[in-house]
Amino acid sequence: MLLIYAIQGAWRAYRRARRRARELSVYAGKEVTALERLAAQLNEHGFALEHSASELFPKLGQVLAFLEQPLVAVTIPWLLRRAMRRPYRRR
């Protein structure tokens, strides 16, 4: 009798594992097709991305060089705080 319960439990566990493996394989297939579609889009638009990056990165470097100066780095948060939260106080 104990052997029958053990076999039945093992069979149920096998079916559950098989069902989960099938679901996982379907999910992986969907993800693969999505990644293939994304790779095709990147290959299609890769030159435009490379061109825009070559124009954008030097400009970002210039802005960062300006923002790294100590006085500017301290002043910008102060200006934002004044502009957003606190209007000018009247005395």
Question: Would you say residue 15 has pLDDT above 70?
Answer: yes
The whole-number pLDDT of residue 86 equals: 66
More confident residue, 3 or 33: 33
pLDDT digits (tens, 9 = 90+) for 29-78: 888 888 888 888 877 777 777 777 778 888 878 777 777 777 777 777 77
Instruction: Please report, for the chain, the start and end positions of each structural domain, with discontinuous segments joined by +.
Output: 2-84
DSSP string, 30-69: HHHHHHHHHHHHHHHHHHHHHHHHHHHHHHHHHHHHHHTS
The whole-number pLDDT of residue 82 equals: 77
Matching residue, tokens 């095709």 = 40
- Decide: pTM greater than 0.75: no
